[in-house]
Amino acid sequence: MFDTLSERLEKAFTSLRGKGRLSDADIDATCREIRIALLEADVALPAVRQFIGAVRERAGGAEVSKALNPAQQVIKIVNEELVEILGGETRRLRLAKSPPTVIMLAGLQGSGKTTLAGKLGQWLKAQGHTPLLIAADLQRPNAVTQLQVVGQQAGVTVFAPHPGTAEGGISGPPGDPVAVARDGVAEAQRRMHDIVIVDTAGRLGVDTQMMAQAAAIRDAVDPDETLYVVDAMIGQDAVTTAEAFRDGVGFTGVVLSKLDGDARGGAALSVRFVTGTPILFASTGEQLSDFDIFHPERMASRILGMGDMLTLIEQAEASFDADEAQRMAGKLATGTAFTLEDFLEQMMALKKMGPLSNVLGMLPGMGQMKDQLAQVDDSDLDRTAAIIRSMTPGEREDPKLINGSRRARVARGSGVSVFEVNQLVDRFFEARKMMAQMAGSMGLPGARRSNRKNARKSTRGAKKGKKGKAVRGPTAARVPAGLPPGMGGMAGGGMPGQPMPDLSKLKFPKQ
Amino acid sequence: MEYVIIAIVVVVVAAAGFLGAGVARTRRAKMARLPPSSTTGETATLPNPTETVAPSIDSPTQALPIPAPDVEAPDLEAPALEMPEPTANRLIRLRARLARSQSTLGKGLLAVLGRDRLDERAWEDIEDTLLQADVGVASAGEIVQRLRERTRVLGTRTPGDLRALLSEELVAAIGADTDRTLHTFPHADAPAVVLVVGVNGTGKTTTCGKLARVLIADGHSVVLGAADTFRAAAADQLQTWGAKVGARTVRGAAGADPASVAFEAVRMGTEDHVDVVLVDTAGRLHTKTGLMDELGKIKRVVQRQGPVDETLLVLDATTGQNGLTQARVFAEVVDCTGIVLTKLDGTAKGGIVFAVQRELGVPVKLVGLGEGADDLAPFEPKAFVDALLG
């Protein structure tokens, strides 16, 4: 696990509390940490250098604010700079005045062009367009077939006059992608498709022949948008490659693919930095629907390794049933009504969101608990589930029922020791108490069921006040003194105006 | 909707606390329970090859009924089976390719090393060179530190010596004497099994195809298992490769259980007494637990018929620091025995393998050098480092 920038900076600044202004030495130390953090996020070195220069300038002149400690302040500057670079101008697809709009895809091998063609096709179709996919990748064996299948899944017409390098590729002359692309656009005009997406073969920046071919395709179809597809996992080579494509083909927009992995995606910054081209889309999964417009603030948090609340929430929404969650919210508020059965359900939903440590890592302020997080093993979820499943429905409803002999039975049933069952029950009660406290202090509407009508209206206003309360609330009493100040308001940097409770202040029940 | 979000956060945190507390203890308990050799423990609980994994959001296709994989014999009378060139002289071309990818990077380094005095700035430049090759902050720092110490001890001053020293350090860092042979010799009654794994788009299928050519060129007989039943046309792609050299491809219907396809491929290989079975798997991001479980299952199921001799992780040379996480997770799930570094013919240097070697000790065994059918070569630390330094 990488140390996050916030963690590093907290360390660097422990001795600097109370200073009014950052000294040059402080700034040097800070810049070193930022440099490492950015490099670990795969931001290209030239971009890092320039970026640090900008941050150094701003940090030097900045008056230290009273609200933030020096570390937080620097992070704030860094975050703001990142967002600015990443999203200076968010831009939509430019559509041609007279259809068809031609979109050309280019990129390295394996960056996800063919898949993206399908995704883009489906996305555009959902918006009422009638896209046509052109299979101009005649290089990779069966790329044409892949596009055809993808097009079928997306319900989009595919223009593939040439089979490409398919089985027995020895037969027939090699196809001419330029001709295919040109014919495709003509075909689109004839068939009244208003958008054409040209899928080209993957190519390396140093391959002059292939780059010339890409340029020829570009000249033949005169694209309104040329999208450069780049893998979010790409490292320092991002700059070289982006430059090669910029010079060889020229692109008007960038698509970041495979963002569903845990790569920090510093490439986004590098490419933006080098070419100044906006990032239009982000591709986040293998399904055709896993495709979205790019969010600069989220990317900034991600590069810095800060909590990514928005992504977490989105993932949660995908895995948790909304009605179910609402019902759960009510239960949580009352505290006692929350049963082991509910807990099991939640746990299973949670499991669907991916490895637990990843999910937890997305919560702001969890950085300081990194060691503890590393300990969280997903198989523990299964074990816990096994124990709960060995209980009768009655026991799950009311865990107080579970006496000694029942415990022995449950232990036998789930293949664990009685001690573990004991622990689970104890921890459940403790967790339930904790949840009730948190829920109460955060103002879940269920807690004030009587004025539910107003609840929705007042949530926003009410929460502002409650953020502080969550920190000072009942749980705060258990926080040991000397815990480093969390990211607090900072961590929610991606969500302006929506303060989140400072989770780092929570103390997990320890043995 | 907002309170729903809060509720979810509460549950997440509660679950974490809930588990976090118990972890320390269960860990210890687990360790005590495990017998000293964990491999035997695993084989005892081997699942049935037709077991069905509960559908997860990662792979909705898994829920589809699983038809028995149908075997398509390639047309063995195809007019011209290509006879790939033997591997022996590939290294020469490898050097030429690597040389092509030289950039200003190496030249910059040479300039640094040529300076009169090695000041702080010079060391920083050396480190930067390594960083730009994706070596990673920790590895680069370590290498430079060792180099500094050695120059001080040896009193090296001339650029030539220094460069040699650096290259020596790098070769050492990547493991000069690691065993890089590919274990593809058949067992007495069963073929050698090679499993190819990796994230999406690194070139697994292509590597499989190229590897089949290499093996056939070296006189082995090969069966290909197209266990990538997810990506559109992946099996076709592999079959195209196989048909060219007359290797049989075992494939299942789209969305079939990949483990059953892999099992079938090995079974076919055993029946036909071929030497090597190459199993191509679907690309999967290491963060998708459902898919990683599926991969674990593929390996377990294949192991029912005998050991998996090689598990090759395909890493893209352009991959940055995430490559280490990838390697770590894949090694955990399927215990990788080697790495194939692909797309090395571009400008990317693939320095991430230093970090992988340093942390996991998994050696790079093969390198992919281009789209040509025979652009796969054995890995040579020296040549690789030379290319890195330019």
pLDDT tens sequence across A299-329 = 777 777 665 565 666 666 666 666 776 777 6
Disruptive mutation site among B72, B120, B129, B200 for chain A (greatest number of A CBs within 10 Å): B200
How far is A133 from B378, CA to CA, in rounded Å?
Answer: 39
Phi then psi dihedrals of residue A298, to 5 deg: -65, -40
Token pair listed for A64: 């230290």
Tell me whether residues B200 and A111 touch, CB distance under 8 A: no
What residues of chain A, 50 to 89, have a C-beta less than 8 Å from chain B?
A: none
Name the residue type at position B224.
L
Write out chain A residues lying below 8 Å of B323, CB-based.
Answer: 233, 235
Provide the pLDDT confidence category of residue B288 given band limits of 50, 70 and 90.
confident
pLDDT at B128 over 50: yes
- What is the interface size between A and B, counted as CB pairs within 8 Å? 305
How far is B324 from B350, CA to CA, in rounded Å?
Answer: 11
Using CA coordinates, name the residue in chain B closest to A142.
B237
Tell me whether residues A233 and B7 touch, CB distance under 8 A: no
Is the minimum CB–CB distance between A198 and chain B shorter than 8 Å? no
* Closest residue to B15, CB basis, from A237, A350, A372: A350
Q: Which of B98-102, B307-311, B374-378 has the weakest average pLDDT? A: B98-102
Mean of the pLDDT values across residues A332-355? 73
How far off is chain B from A227, nearest CA to CA, in Å? 18
Is the minimum CB–CB distance between A351 and chain B shorter than 8 Å? yes
How far is A88 from A18, CA to CA, in rounded Å?
Answer: 34
Pick the CATH number of A101-306 from 1.10.287.610, 3.40.50.300, 3.30.530.20, 3.90.1170.50: 3.40.50.300
Cα B128 to chain centroid distance, Å, stands at 26
Mean of the pLDDT values across residues B205-229? 90
Is the minimum CB–CB distance between A293 and chain B shorter than 8 Å? no
Q: Which of A67-81, A96-110, B255-269, B358-372 has the weakest average pLDDT? A: A67-81
Provide the pLDDT confidence category of residue A499 given band limits of 50, 70 and 90.
very low
Strands (E), B282-363: 310-316, 338-342
Pair A273, A458: CB distance under 8 Å:
no
Reduced to 3 states, what is the DSSP secondary structure of residue B158?
coil
**Residue A509 pLDDT:** 41
Using CA coordinates, name the residue in chain A closest to B201.
A110
Name the residue type at position A169.
G
Sign of the C-alpha dihedral, residues B284, B285, B286, B287?
negative
Q: Hey, what long-range contacts does A448-452 have (CB within 8 A, 24 or more apart)?
A: A449/A330
Q: Specify the CATH number of the domain A322-461+481-505.
A: 1.10.260.30
Using CA coordinates, name the residue in chain A closest to B78.
A168
Tell me whether residues B318 and A42 touch, CB distance under 8 A: no
Tell me whether residues B346 and A204 touch, CB distance under 8 A: yes
Q: What is the CA radius of gyration of chain B?
A: 24
How far off is chain A from B237, nearest CA to CA, in Å? 5
Disruptive mutation site among A286, A327, A422 for chain B (greatest number of B CBs within 10 Å): A286
**Residue A261 pLDDT:** 76
The model's pLDDT over A345-391, given as tens digits with 9 standing for 90+, comes to 877 777 777 666 666 666 655 555 555 656 666 677 788 888 888 88
Express as a percent the part of chain B with pLDDT over 90: 20
**Residue A494 pLDDT:** 35
Is the minimum CB–CB distance between A104 and chain B shorter than 8 Å? no
Tell me whether residues B200 and A258 touch, CB distance under 8 A: yes
Express as a percent the part of chain A with pLDDT over 70: 65
Write out chain B residues lying below 8 Å of A439, CB-based.
Answer: 6-7, 10
Tell me whether residues B233 and A149 touch, CB distance under 8 A: yes
Strand partners, A107: A229
How far off is chain A from B189, nearest CA to CA, in Å? 32
Residues whose CB falls within 8 Å of the CB of residue B63, separated by 6 or more in sequence, listed in order: B55
**Residue A103 pLDDT:** 92
The burial class, CB within 10 Å (0-12 / 13-18 / 19+), for A318 is: exposed
**Residue B353 pLDDT:** 87
What residues of chain A, 106 to 145, have a C-beta less than 8 Å from chain B?
A: 108-112, 139-143, 145
How far off is chain A from B339, nearest CA to CA, in Å? 17
Q: How far apart are the first and last CA of chain B?
A: 56
pLDDT at A162 over 70: yes
- Residue corresponding to tokens 């890995």: B379
* Closest residue to A231, CB basis, from B24, B80, B201: B201
Write out chain A residues lying below 8 Å of B319, CB-based.
Answer: 231, 233-235
Mean of the pLDDT values across residues A123-151? 88
Provide the pLDDT confidence category of residue B263 given band limits of 50, 70 and 90.
very high
* Closest residue to B348, CB basis, from A153, A237, A417: A237
pLDDT at B191 over 70: yes
Tell me whether residues B289 and A139 touch, CB distance under 8 A: no
**Residue B340 pLDDT:** 93
Mean of the pLDDT values across residues B366-376? 83
CATH 1.20.120.140 in chain A, residues?
A: 3-85
Instruction: Examine the predicted complex and report whether its ipTM is higher than 0.85.
Output: no
Using CA coordinates, name the residue in chain A closest to B28.
A375
pLDDT at B381 over 50: yes
CATH 3.40.50.300 in chain A, residues?
A: 101-306
Tell me whether residues A439 and B137 touch, CB distance under 8 A: no
Averaged pLDDT score across all residues of chain B? 75
Q: Which of B79-93, B169-183, B315-329 has the weakest average pLDDT? A: B79-93
Pair A380, B22: CB distance under 8 Å:
yes
Tell me whether residues A313 and B8 touch, CB distance under 8 A: yes
Pair A309, A366: CB distance under 8 Å:
no
Most confident segment among A17-31, A491-505, B54-68, B293-307: B293-307
**Residue A318 pLDDT:** 66
How far off is chain A from B269, nearest CA to CA, in Å? 22
Using CA coordinates, name the residue in chain B closest to A231.
B319
Superfamily of domain A3-85: SRP54, nucleotide-binding domain (1.20.120.140)
**Residue A462 pLDDT:** 35
Tell me whether residues B27 and A377 touch, CB distance under 8 A: yes
What residues of chain A, 210 to 239, have a C-beta less than 8 Å from chain B?
A: 231, 233-238
CATH 1.10.260.30 in chain A, residues?
A: 322-461+481-505
Tell me whether residues B240 and A153 touch, CB distance under 8 A: no
pLDDT at B313 over 50: yes
- Residue corresponding to tokens 């996020």: A41
- What order of strands is seen across the sheet that includes strand A157-159? A157-159, A131-136, A195-200, A101-107, A225-231, A253-257, A279-283, A291-293
Is the minimum CB–CB distance between A420 and chain B shorter than 8 Å? yes
How far off is chain A from B96, nearest CA to CA, in Å? 14
Provide the pLDDT confidence category of residue B331 given band limits of 50, 70 and 90.
very high
pLDDT at A251 over 50: yes
Most confident segment among A47-61, A429-443, B171-185, B333-347: B333-347
How far off is chain B from A224, nearest CA to CA, in Å? 27
**Residue A397 pLDDT:** 83
Tell me whether residues A233 and B199 touch, CB distance under 8 A: yes
CA-to-CA separations, A161 to A136, A187, A192, in angstroms, rounded: 9, 11, 18
Write out chain A residues lying below 8 Å of B288, CB-based.
Answer: 260, 354
Is the minimum CB–CB distance between A241 and chain B shorter than 8 Å? yes
